[in-house]
Structure 1
C-alpha cells in the first residue's frame, strides 16, 4: 500500500517532493501506472507527468529490467524455500490443498 501511495497511482507524482518522486520511480508500480495512463488518458493529460512526457522507451526498459531481476532472483528464492521443507510436509500440504479444491 505504501508503494501505491508514492507511485502516482492515486494523485500526480509531480505533487510529491523530489526525493519522494525518485523513490516512487525506482519501483515498477510507477512505471505500470505510467504505461496505463499513456494508453488510456487523452494526450492532454501528459502535462501532469514528469517532464511532460509519457516516456515509452524508459517505461519498457524499466519494466524489462524488473522482469529480468525477478527471473534471476526467483530460482534462488524458490530453492531456499524448498531446502527448508521436507518431502512429507510438502505432500501433506498438497493433499490438504487438493481436498479443499474438490
Structure 2
C-alpha cells in the first residue's frame, strides 16, 4: 500500500511510499517479504531489514506505476513491478550498503 507500519515490539516505524495498485495484485506481500528476507541477510537488525525491504518495494511500485501507459491495468503493473525492483536494487547497489547502525 501507500503507508506501511513496521515494529519490533519496542520501536515502530511509519513508512510512506508505494502505490495503491499494490493492493490490487496478488503476490505483492510475498514479494515484499522476500525483499525483507534478502535485506535481513545483510544486516543483524531485523527492524532495519524489514524497513529497507518495504522501502525498496515502495520505490519499485512507484517506478512501475510510472512505466504504465493509460491502457495498462493491474496485470501490467505486476509485470512492471519486477522491473521496478530490478532498477531500484541496481541503482542502490544494495549488496554494498553498510546497513549496520553505528552505536
Decide: shared fold, TM above 0.5. no
Q: Which has the higher strand share?
A: 2
**Normalising to structure 1: TM-score of the pair?**
0.28
**Normalising to structure 2: TM-score of the pair?**
0.28
Which is higher, the Rg of structure 1 or of structure 2?
A: 1
